[in-house]
Amino acid sequence: MPKRLRVLSLVFWPGLVQIWSGQEILGLFLAALFGFSLNLSIIARWIWTEVFPPGWCEFFGTFAVLTWIASSSYTVWWVGFCHPEHHAREIDKLFREAQEAYLQGRWSASKNSLEQILARDDGDADALMQLGSIYLRTQQPALARRTFLQCLELSNGGKWRWEIQRALARLDTA
């Protein structure tokens, strides 16, 4: 099953998709807001019915439903238009352009293409690795180190571990 469909299957609880896709703050906010409004609605309707004035129970229930609808709509929109898989063809084209420019020694053009890739998918380990190499070539060791370390932190960045460790060792000796 494609990742986009797996993400869409999590839409039943507001915030879960956002947390899964790396938008932790937004996800936690949506989940807390929905949980709070749902709990308040349940408490007002069935547990402490005499505590809240008339109409508040319906307000809390409506707020919980609207929170769920807004979160679900945002999730469907994000998966449809912003998910990295949606941009896979363009990312592949940009990566080929970046490699070609890199091999021709046009560091700036390569860097621009890689930054466009990372704007669409900040978890692209290959783009981060090549960007770190460009920073090395252009004598920017601090940026290279930060980029390599960021690549190592990614789940799919482990494939570059040996190359990154060698590059970091060279930076330490320089």
The pLDDT score that the predictor gives to residue 115 is 94
Closest CA to 10 of 74, 66, 54: 74
Please, where in the chain does CATH 1.25.40.10 lie? 87-173
The pLDDT score that the predictor gives to residue 38 is 92
The pLDDT score that the predictor gives to residue 149 is 94
The pLDDT score that the predictor gives to residue 63 is 92
Q: How far apart are CA 148 and CA 152, in angstroms?
A: 6
Q: Structure tokens of 35?
A: 């949980």
Predicted structure pTM score: 0.58
Q: How far apart are CA 66 and CA 56, in angstroms?
A: 15
In tens digits, the chain (174 residues) has pLDDT values of 566 677 667 778 888 888 877 778 988 998 999 999 999 999 999 998 888 888 898 999 999 999 899 888 888 887 777 766 667 788 899 999 999 999 999 999 999 999 999 988 888 999 999 999 999 999 999 999 999 999 999 888 889 999 999 999 999 887
The pLDDT score that the predictor gives to residue 128 is 95
The pLDDT score that the predictor gives to residue 88 is 79
The CATH homologous superfamily for domain 87-173 is Tetratricopeptide repeat domain (1.25.40.10)
The pLDDT score that the predictor gives to residue 80 is 75
Q: How far apart are CA 85 and CA 79, in angstroms?
A: 9
